[in-house]
Amino acid sequence: MMILIIISAIFFLDQLTKVLASKFLVLNQSLPLIKGILYLTLVHNRGAAFGIFKGQLWLFIFSTIFALTLIYIGLRGGKEKRPFIYKLSLGLICAGALGNLTDRILYGHVIDFLDLRIWPVFNIADSSITIGAVLLGYSILKLKTK
């Protein structure tokens, strides 16, 4: 139940921030929040991470649905009890995937707006996926060492 709350909260925060970014920012223009460190820059990403594979909307939609299916299976688990960190990692990936999938279905692109200037512009969903992937790797490695 806790994982479902986390997924819902991150999904809501992601969608809320994207709506606000779209309402208050001008496409491709930057607004400094912390000069030299953090900017708000509205970008419509029609590709995957770093803008690769642009124009492959249906590929992204179907691959995300497939990934979400695997995550659901992983969260449901088998007979063995899964550690919380494993479930949390899948929940973070799920929340991010749902956030970006929603954008792709509604708008045909993902709304990105967080700009560190040393990394491509990203959003809350991207951050959730990245943190979840790191935690997933950690939890898998931790499980193998036991």
Q: Which amino acid is at 64?
A: T
Which candidate in 14, 103, 112, 115 is catalytic? 112
Which candidate in 14, 103, 115, 126 is catalytic? 126
| CA nearest neighbour of 21 among 128, 101, 122 | 122
Cα–Cα distance measured from residue 69 to residue 6, given in angstroms and rounded to the nearest whole number:
18
Three-state helix/strand/coil letters over 70-90: HHHHHHHCCCCCCCHHHHHHH
Q: Which residues make Cβ contacts (< 8 Å) with residue 40, sequence separation at least 6?
A: 21, 25, 30, 31, 33, 113, 114, 115
Catalytic residue check, 103: no
Catalytic residue check, 115: no
Where in the sequence numbering do the catalytic residues fall?
112, 126
